């Protein structure tokens, strides 16, 4: 059922074979059912033997894993393990030096971030990247940019297509605002909001794009326990209500273990574990990476 | 046929009023709710259709006449419809406080034996599921917001919209039965059952008949000349009798529109957008608002601040006079008009009070400064005195006879009697039928002639006929030396200071009075910020020596003012402490309507109370607190106890000679 999930402890060659097996058998592979009864679909995105180099520095070294439709997939690892780089490859900020990305069954050529966004991949950032002077509503509306097609002339006179489009987009945005319970700050400039709420607004903007794959870069960083609980509930709700596939990076192990269906563990740019949370937790390489081991 | 013609204008139930409105006011708005950022509205005709569909759905699920249908959630049109639909189907709606924890709900749901429960969202559904094993009569639950509900076991759980759809589908089959039940509703049949919050003991189910609700709605609407054009904002708990009277009784009688806010947090914005013409709020809401205005004005620029204070001082002198129709000089009027243009108008607009024609406050005493502030702005704010058992209205203030220290004249149709003990009794068409399944309490409250004991001590001012309430009758006591002890009187004086949120005064049977005080975090926190005083927690701020100094000044001022009243001069506070936590309904210290539960507090903080009387300067204490989700924790603190100066009072006899 979970082919490719117990690869972490295999050697490099064996791993390659296993990945090949996984891609070969994709037709008959229609996902799995989680403990709480959610149906996880087939492979949505597959990363094959990804390597990323910055000059002489190898940030990511020959990593392969997949993200299935409807699942919450976590990437964890110590500082500098290459997690954010991995997310940046998926969202098109970086182009891998080697390796292939397969998305919805097709190989994805190197792309610009906005092209990736058009394919239905939305993300949030580790350091909040909102327009501070704009209201929450306007910020969330920017999430709909890829869905707006009216020309500049029509936009300027607010007539015809531009108007219809904005009304339709506003409706979707309002549903997201309702979903994330931020109605009371709809008209508040983002700059005046506390950190935890800004994070939520960023999630709202990503959701407004109606993504098929949502990337969250440390959604709980710097939050207190209550804010973390809120955010966890929203992530689970998003996944549950919209069936959105979520790939997240997180440091809080408790959160990761509770939220995710499968976890990829990275250390020094390499994958050292991959599988359901319980399995990863008992993986010796993972324990060594987190607790430190005498080299 | 005599029976059939009974009822105001032949209308004997809320569903009958609905039917009339659906014809008479067909296209006019009956409900509005802000959702997805837009005010959605339903006309009376649409409302009738929605309610009927839900009532048919209830029949389809097997609601029997006389069943109790519990309704839990914040103010939403769907839940108001559910209440009327339950009545239409011959059942009795029982609204519950939505912020009640599962255990509190369990008592009420068991006591009324609810077969059906209508819950607003997942949160409420979860609470019911937690206790459902102990609810023997409970059969079906209906939820309004489907979010997060997909994975639940749907054998006894239904989506509101689905119930309505099924009702619509089964219309031909069930409409006959529904009409039979709707037309069979009598004037003395139960309209609603509301649980009193209960400052002592378990909540009691107050049964109110159609007669109670409709007669009360009719006479109170006439008293204030309410019209079908009124706009109200429904934001107070649906389980509270006031909301039932305003948002259902009066709304259906007059046919005016009930507006529901988007969420509790957006209430202030929604209030401003709706600008209600008829508004009710407990004193706490007015207090908080005034505190916020003052804090924000402190932060405003110098010119704005000067303008604000200049015109406000003028308004305090002239505003109430203009409102009461008393003679005011032309120049004064012109200055007031300028103030209206520059300060009062914009301020009222910001607060959402631009169109308020009739505003009421009740439930607790309101500080004279607060009351005068709103009246000075030209807002017709009045006080009323009421109870669940009276279908709200006992006394209210007529226009032009408004004073902060009285609660007004008897409402139309209400008779008032003061017993020898000083307790206020009343009799009216609004007097409740009974306490559900509690004949002893019913007999203890209502006598054979229909007189109801309010439990409050008061007197009628001879000159004006206005009622003045002193205190809860059972709280009024005697000090060791025989002087009158009225804690609420002193507590209210303390609470009028913005820094003091809550106060509890002790002294019954003792030689002197002492007090527990809660600081107001908004006001004191702002003061701390302004004075660069760092604090990490409520507890730390509450124990700060400078805060204690300020509170001590307030207490001493109150003592001076209490000393003026020769009857109550014994109630001056000799010693006090500032509590390390806010008194909270979740800990059982306040009722859900935020009234102090004196005995429970005295018991819970017995160690603190002892320390107030044994002369110690500080006391170490540990307190159990309950979090919103029901978990418990402990907080530890060492509290300082302060002595306050009292004004020496000459013995009364000497003064009289």
Give residue-wise pLDDT tens across range B236-294: 999 999 999 999 999 999 999 999 999 988 998 999 999 999 999 988 888 888 888 88
Supply the pLDDT for residue A11. 40
Supply the pLDDT for residue B200. 60
Comparing A5 with B414, the larger pLDDT belongs to B414
Contacts of B269 in chain A (CB under 8 A): 184, 187
Work out the minimum CA distance from B360 to partner chain A, whole angstroms.
26
pLDDT > 90? residue B59: yes
Contacts of A241 in chain B (CB under 8 A): 147-148, 150
DSSP chain A: --TTSSGGGS-HHHHHHHHHHHHHTTTT---EE-TTSPEE-SEEEEEEEEEEEETTEEEEEEEEEEEETT-EEEEE-STTSSHHHHHHHHTTSS--SEEEEEETTEEEPP--HHHHHHTTEEEE-SS----TTSBHHHHHHHTTGGG----HHHHHHT-THHHHHHHHHHHHHHHHHHHTT-GGGTTSBGGGS-HHHHHHHHHHHHHHT--SEEEEESTTTT--HHHHHHHHHHHHHHHHHH--EEEEE-S-HHHHHHH-SEEEEEETTEEEEEE-HHHHHT-HHHHHHHH----
* A232 and A260 Cβ atoms separated by less than 8 Å: no
What is the arithmetic mean of pLDDT over B202-207? 91
What is the arithmetic mean of pLDDT over A64-87? 90
Does the distance separating the beta carbons of B262 and A240 come in below 8 Å? no
Q: Does domain B477-656 have CATH number 3.30.300.30?
A: yes
Over the stretch A140-193, which tens digit does the pLDDT of each residue have? 999 998 888 777 777 787 777 888 888 899 999 999 999 999 999 999 999 999
Q: pTM of the entire structure?
A: 0.81
Is A292 touching B (CB cutoff 8 A)?
Answer: no
What is the arithmetic mean of pLDDT over B170-194? 94
Comparing A286 with B351, the larger pLDDT belongs to B351
Supply the pLDDT for residue B497. 85
Supply the pLDDT for residue A4. 39
Supply the pLDDT for residue B326. 83
Q: What chain A residue is nearest to B265 in terms of C-alpha separation? A: A184
Supply the pLDDT for residue B481. 83
pLDDT > 50? residue A3: no
Supply the pLDDT for residue B651. 52
How many inter-chain contacts (A to B, CB under 8 Å) are there? 33
Helix H or strand E encompassing B32: strand B29-35
Whole-number mean pLDDT of chain B? 89
Q: Is residue B6 very low, low, confident or very high in pLDDT (cuts 50, 70, 90)?
A: low
What is the arithmetic mean of pLDDT over B495-520? 90
Supply the pLDDT for residue A56. 86
Supply the pLDDT for residue A295. 57
Does the distance separating the beta carbons of A178 and B36 come in below 8 Å? yes
Does the distance separating the beta carbons of B35 and A178 come in below 8 Å? yes
Contacts of B263 in chain A (CB under 8 A): 181, 183-184
Contacts of A171 in chain B (CB under 8 A): 36
Q: What chain A residue is nearest to B629 in terms of C-alpha separation? A: A226
Number of H helices, E strands in chain B: 25, 28
* A100 and A62 Cβ atoms separated by less than 8 Å: no
pLDDT > 80? residue B85: yes
Comparing B507 with B568, the larger pLDDT belongs to B507
CA atoms lying within 13 Å on the CB side of residue B607: 10
Of A78-82, A154-158, B45-49, B527-531, which has the strongest mean pLDDT? B45-49
Contacts of B35 in chain A (CB under 8 A): 178
Contacts of A37 in chain B (CB under 8 A): 151
Domain map (residue ranges) of chain B? 2-191+239-244, 477-656
Class of domain A1-120+213-295: alpha beta
Domain B2-191+239-244, CATH number (from 3.20.20.105, 3.40.50.12780, 3.40.50.850, 3.90.1150.10): 3.40.50.12780
Of A18-27, B22-31, B474-483, which has the strongest mean pLDDT? B22-31
Residue B343 contacts by C-beta under 8 Å, 6 or more apart in sequence?
B307, B308, B311, B312, B315
* A97 and A113 Cβ atoms separated by less than 8 Å: no
Supply the pLDDT for residue A243. 87
Supply the pLDDT for residue A12. 40
Does the distance separating the beta carbons of A170 and B37 come in below 8 Å? yes
Supply the pLDDT for residue B33. 95
Q: Which pair of tokens denotes residue B380?
A: 């017709």
Over the stretch B442-499, which tens digit does the pLDDT of each residue have? 998 899 999 999 888 888 888 889 998 877 777 888 888 888 888 888 888 898 888 8
Q: Is residue A21 very low, low, confident or very high in pLDDT (cuts 50, 70, 90)?
A: very low
Work out the minimum CA distance from A60 to partner chain B, whole angstroms.
38
Facing A171 at nearest CB: one of B36, B150, B265: B36
Share of chain B above pLDDT 90, in %: 60
Supply the pLDDT for residue B655. 38
Domain map (residue ranges) of chain A? 1-120+213-295, 130-210
Q: Which pair of tokens denotes residue B151?
A: 């994975």
Burial class (CB in 10 A: 0-12, 13-18, 19+), B15: buried
Is A14 touching B (CB cutoff 8 A)?
Answer: no
Supply the pLDDT for residue B279. 94
What ipTM was reported for this prediction?
Answer: 0.73
């Amino acid at each position: 059922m979970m082919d490719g999930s117990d690869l972490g402890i295999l050697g490099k060659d064996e791993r390659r074979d296993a990945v090949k097996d996984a891609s070969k058998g994709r037709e008959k592979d229609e996902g799995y059912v989680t403990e709480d009864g959610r149906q996880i679909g087939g492979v949505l995105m597959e990363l094959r033997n990804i390597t990323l180099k910055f000059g002489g520095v190898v940030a990511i070294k020959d990593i392969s894993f997949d993200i299935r439709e409807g699942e919450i997939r976590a990437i964890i690892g110590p500082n500098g393990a290459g997690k954010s780089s991995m997310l940046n490859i998926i969202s098109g900020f970086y182009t891998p030096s080697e390796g292939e990305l397969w998305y919805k069954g097709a190989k994805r050529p190197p792309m610009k971030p906005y092209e990736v966004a058009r394919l239905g991949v939305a993300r949030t950032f580790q350091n909040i990247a909102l327009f501070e002077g704009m209201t929450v509503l306007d910020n969330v509306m920017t999430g709909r940019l890829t869905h707006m097609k009216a020309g500049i002339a029509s936009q300027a006179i607010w007539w015809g297509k531009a108007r219809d489009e904005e009304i339709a987009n506003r409706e979707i945005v309002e549903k997201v605002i309702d979903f994330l319970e931020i109605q009371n700050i709809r008209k508040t400039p983002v700059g005046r909001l506390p950190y935890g709420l800004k994070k939520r607004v960023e999630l709202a903007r990503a959701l407004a794009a109606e993504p098929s794959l949502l990337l969250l870069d440390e959604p709980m960083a710097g939050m207190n326990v209550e804010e973390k609980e809120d955010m966890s509930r929203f992530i689970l709700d998003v996944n549950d209500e919209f069936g959105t596939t979520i790939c997240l990076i997180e440091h809080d192990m408790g959160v990761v273990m509770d939220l995710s269906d499968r976890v990829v563990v990275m250390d020094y740019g390499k994958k050292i574990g991959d599988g359901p949370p319980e399995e990863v937790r008992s993986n010796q390489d993972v324990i060594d990476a987190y607790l430190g081991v005498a080299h | 046929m005599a029976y059939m013609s009974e009822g105001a204008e032949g209308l004997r139930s809320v569903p009958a009023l609905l039917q009339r409105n659906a014809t008479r006011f067909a296209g006019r708005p009956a409900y509005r709710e802000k959702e997805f950022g837009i005010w959605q509205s339903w006309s009376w005709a649409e409302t009738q259709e929605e309610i009927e569909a839900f009532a048919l759905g209830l029949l389809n699920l097997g609601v029997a006449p006389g069943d109790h249908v519990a309704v839990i959630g914040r103010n939403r049109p769907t839940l108001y419809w559910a209440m009327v639909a339950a009545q239409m189907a011959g059942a009795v709606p029982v609204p519950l406080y939505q912020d009640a924890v599962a255990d509190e709900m369990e008592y009420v749901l068991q006591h009324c034996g609810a077969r059906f429960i209508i819950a607003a969202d997942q949160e409420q559904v979860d609470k019911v599921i937690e206790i459902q094993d102990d609810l023997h009569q409970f059969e079906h639950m209906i939820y309004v917001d489907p979010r997060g509900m997909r994975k639940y076991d749907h054998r006894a759980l239904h989506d509101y919209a689905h119930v309505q759809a099924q009702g619509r589908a089964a219309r031909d089959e069930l409409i006959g039965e529904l009409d039979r039940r709707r037309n069979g509703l009598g004037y003395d049949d139960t309209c609603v059952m509301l649980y009193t919050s209960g400052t002592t003991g378990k909540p009691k189910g107050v049964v109110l008949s159609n007669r109670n609700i409709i007669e009360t709605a009719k006479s109170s609407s006439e008293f204030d000349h309410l019209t079908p054009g009124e706009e109200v904002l429904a934001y107070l708990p649906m389980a509270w009798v006031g909301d039932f009277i305003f948002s259902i009784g009066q709304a259906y009688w007059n046919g005016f529109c009930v507006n529901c806010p988007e969420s509790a947090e957006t209430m202030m914005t929604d209030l401003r957008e709706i600008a209600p013409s008829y508004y009710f709020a407990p004193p706490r809401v007015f207090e908080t608002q005034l505190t916020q205005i003052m804090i924000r004005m402190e932060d405003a620029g110098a010119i704005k601040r000067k303008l604000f204070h200049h015109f406000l001082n003028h308004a305090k002198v002239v505003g109430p006079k203009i409102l009461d129709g008393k003679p005011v000089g032309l120049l004064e009027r012109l200055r007031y008009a300028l103030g209206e243009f520059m300060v009062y108008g914009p301020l009222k607009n910001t607060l959402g009070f631009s169109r308020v024609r009739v505003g009421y406050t009740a439930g607790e005493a309101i500080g004279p400064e607060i009351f005068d502030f709103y009246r000075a702005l030209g807002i017709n704010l009045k006080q009323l005195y009421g109870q669940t058992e009276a279908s709200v209205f006992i006394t209210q203030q007529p226009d032009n006879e408004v004073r902060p220290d009285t609660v007004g004249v008897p409402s139309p149709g209400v008779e008032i009697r003061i017993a020898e003990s000083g307790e206020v009794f009343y009799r009216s068409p609004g007097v409740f039928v009974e306490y559900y399944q509690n004949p002893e309490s019913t007999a203890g409250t209502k006598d054979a002639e229909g007189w109801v004991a309010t439990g409050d001590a008061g007197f009628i001012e001879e000159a004006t006929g206005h009622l003045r309430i002193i205190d809860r009758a059972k709280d009024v006591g005697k000090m060791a030396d025989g002087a009158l002890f009225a804690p609420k009187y002193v507590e209210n004086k303390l609470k009028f200071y913005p820094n003091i949120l809550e106060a509890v005064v002790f002294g019954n049977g003792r030689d002197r009075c002492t007090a527990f005080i809660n600081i107001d975090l908004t006001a004191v926190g702002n003061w701390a910020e302004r004075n660069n005083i760092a604090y990490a927690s409520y507890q730390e701020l509450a124990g700060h020596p400078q805060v204690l100094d300020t509170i001590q000044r307030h207490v001493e001022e109150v003592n001076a003012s209490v000393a003026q009243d020769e009857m109550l001069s014994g109630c001056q506070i000799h010693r006090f402490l500032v509590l390390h936590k806010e008194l909270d309904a979740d800990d059982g210290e306040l009722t859900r309507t935020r009234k102090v539960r004196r005995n429970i507090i005295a018991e819970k903080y017995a160690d603190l109370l002892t320390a107030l009387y044994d002369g110690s300067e500080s006391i170490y204490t540990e307190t159990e607190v309950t979090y919103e989700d029901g978990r418990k924790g402990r907080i530890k603190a060492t509290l300082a106890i302060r002595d306050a100066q009292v004004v020496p009072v000459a013995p009364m006899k000497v003064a009289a000679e």
